């Protein structure tokens, strides 16, 4: 694998940035409820972030092919700082929405990091490299929610008061979601500094760019844009890029439907608090770290990526469908962990498979397109989950499992295409 130091650096950059994401994510439904938000409004709060990613991720990705990975990652991480500061100061639902709009607009960090990894890895090691991004998400889901739980817990406020800061502790109690937002901003600023001082550039800006004019203003709603994706000639000659990107959309849709429906289900059916929900995210993160950080490499040495992708999709669908049957925190954790195991297997493999379908000069554009469609899934998923939950508590999980089941057929089609070559 090329340039292990750069790979380690980009991993740390994404980890630190995603810690902030993990802090904010489980708090959003409870923060919004302080402003009397409905289940559908909470879903929209998640969806607006993803809608902005749908628009801007392809743009950031294609720009990173031209101006370099570092400038885009610098803008993205600094944009996250601003978004989290707005989150901390939010005194109304509209300001909370504004914080998510800014975060989604500037959210080009993941697609650019994936393109960066594609730059410095070969096809044999790419799944492991992409797995590091998944592991970074896992760490964010492990430490982030745990940190959020600690920062809003009354025991922490009492601990601060015991050091002679009763006024600050009282402020924390009265504004219990502000400190997590400010701490997330601090973490993203640390990520910004790491990119600025430690991350080398991988794009040769003097090299000629393939189809530069066509990708100048990419739009996932443009037929020409999809035609360009179809024409990609990467290290794989399967021509399966569009089905894979659709699969990425479906997987993101399935995962994000939990963002709004799961906390509401946990609160209404199992009497769980914000702290309890954070613990469940902690379990999910542990699995992602173990699988994507340590197991993906040996698994891809033994099994084809396409088969790992298929198994991951099957496990994710089963886990999603079982969630409404949870009758306590333990069974809920088991079903969530099954879903998380599947997601931890299919995410690094599908991103690796997508990158192999892209031509070398368009890694950023293709990864940005995949993240944009992933953003569309994350835009629809939370609103879908919130709306179906309002109808019946088990509906968002079962209906989503049925839809995500289409990824099983995509994986089967990919394996069949490989066998027929």
Grade residue 322 by pLDDT with cuts at 50, 70 and 90. Answer: very high
CATH of the domain at 61: 1.20.1250.20
Mean pLDDT of 368-375: 73
- Is 209 part of any domain? no
- Give the range with max mean pLDDT: 80-89, 104-113, 136-145, 228-237: 80-89
Grade residue 395 by pLDDT with cuts at 50, 70 and 90. Answer: very high
User: What is the model's pLDDT at position 3?
Assistant: 64
- Is 341 part of any domain? yes
User: What is the model's pLDDT at position 314?
Assistant: 97
- Is 226 part of any domain? yes
Neighbours of 200 (CB within 10 A): 13
Q: Is the pLDDT of residue 185 over 60?
A: yes
- Give the range with max mean pLDDT: 85-99, 150-164, 372-386: 85-99
Least confidently predicted of 60-69, 134-143, 405-414: 134-143
Domain membership of residue 105 as a residue range = 4-196+218-419
Q: Is the pLDDT of residue 264 over 60?
A: yes
Grade residue 143 by pLDDT with cuts at 50, 70 and 90. Answer: confident
Mean pLDDT of 181-197: 91
Q: Is the pLDDT of residue 234 over 70?
A: no
CA distance 229 to 227: 5
Q: Is the pLDDT of residue 132 over 80?
A: no
pLDDT tens digits along 350-364: 988 888 877 666 666
- Is 212 part of any domain? no
User: What is the model's pLDDT at position 227?
Assistant: 63
Least confidently predicted of 114-118, 152-156, 273-277, 393-397: 273-277
Q: Is the pLDDT of residue 1 over 60?
A: no
Higher pLDDT, 336 or 275: 336
Q: Is the pLDDT of residue 10 over 50?
A: yes
- Is 224 part of any domain? yes
- Is 202 part of any domain? no
Long-range contacts of 226-233 (CB under 8 A, 24+ apart): 229/366, 229/369, 232/357, 232/358, 232/359, 232/362, 232/366, 233/359
Mean pLDDT of 252-262: 84
Q: Is the pLDDT of residue 308 over 90?
A: yes
- Is 310 part of any domain? yes
CA distance 285 to 270: 21
Least confidently predicted of 119-123, 155-159, 198-202, 341-345: 119-123
User: What is the model's pLDDT at position 217?
Assistant: 44
Burial profile 360-394: b = 16 or more Cβ within 10 angstroms, e = fewer: ebbbbbbbbbbbbbbbbbbbbbbbbbbbbbbeebb
Comparing CA positions, the residue from 101, 173, 188, 93 lying closest to residue 140 is 188
First to last CA, the chain: 28
- Is 332 part of any domain? yes
Into how many domains does the chain fold?
A: 1
Mean pLDDT of 386-398: 89
């Amino acid at each position: 694998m090329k340039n292990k130091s750069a790979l380690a650096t980009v991993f740390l950059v994404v980890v630190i940035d995603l810690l902030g994401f993990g802090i904010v994510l489980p708090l959003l439904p409870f923060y919004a409820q302080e402003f009397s938000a409905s289940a559908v409004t909470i879903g929209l709060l998640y969806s607006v972030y993803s809608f902005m990613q749908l628009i801007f991720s392809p743009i950031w990705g294609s720009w990173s092919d031209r101006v370099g990975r570092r400038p885009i990652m610098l803008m993205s991480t600094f944009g996250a700082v601003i978004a989290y500061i707005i989150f901390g100061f939010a005194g109304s639902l509209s300001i909370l929405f504004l914080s998510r709009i800014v975060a989604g607009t500037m959210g080009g960090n993941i697609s650019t990091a994936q393109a960066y990894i594609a730059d410095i890895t070969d096809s044999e090691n790419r799944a492991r490299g992409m797995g590091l991004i998944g592991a970074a998400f896992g760490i964010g889901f492990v430490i982030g929610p745990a940190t959020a739980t600690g920062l809003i817990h009354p025991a922490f406020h009492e601990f601060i008061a015991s050091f002679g800061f009763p006024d600050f502790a009282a402020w924390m109690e009265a504004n219990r979601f502000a400190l997590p937002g400010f701490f997330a901003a601090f973490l993203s600023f640390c990520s910004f500094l790491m990119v600025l001082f430690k991350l080398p550039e991988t794009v040769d800006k003097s090299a000629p760019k393939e189809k530069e004019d066509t990708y100048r203003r990419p739009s996932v709603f443009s037929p020409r844009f999809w035609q360009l994706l179809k024409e990609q000639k990467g290290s794989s000659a399967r021509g399966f890029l569009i089905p894979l990107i659709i699969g990425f959309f479906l997987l993101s849709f399935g995962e994000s439907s939990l963002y709004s429906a799961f906390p509401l289900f946990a609160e209404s059916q199992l009497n769980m608090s914000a702290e309890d929900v954070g613990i469940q995210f902690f379990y999910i993160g542990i699995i992602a770290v173990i699988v994507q950080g340590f197991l993906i490499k040996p698994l891809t040495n033994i099994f084809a990526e396409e088969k790992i992708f298929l198994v991951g999709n099957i496990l994710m669908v089963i886990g999603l469908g079982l969630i409404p049957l949870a009758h306590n925190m333990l069974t809920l954790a088991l079903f969530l962990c099954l879903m998380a195991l599947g997601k931890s297997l299919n995410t690094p493999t599908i991103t690796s498979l997508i990158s192999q379908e892209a031509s070398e000069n368009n890694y950023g554009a293709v990864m940005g397109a995949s993240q944009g469609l992933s953003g569309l899934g994350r835009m629809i998923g939370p609103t879908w989950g919130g709306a179906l939950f309002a109808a019946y508590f088990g509906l968002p999980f079962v209906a989503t499992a049925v839809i995500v089941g289409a990824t099983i057929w995509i994986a089967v089609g990919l394996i069949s295409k490989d066998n027929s070559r």
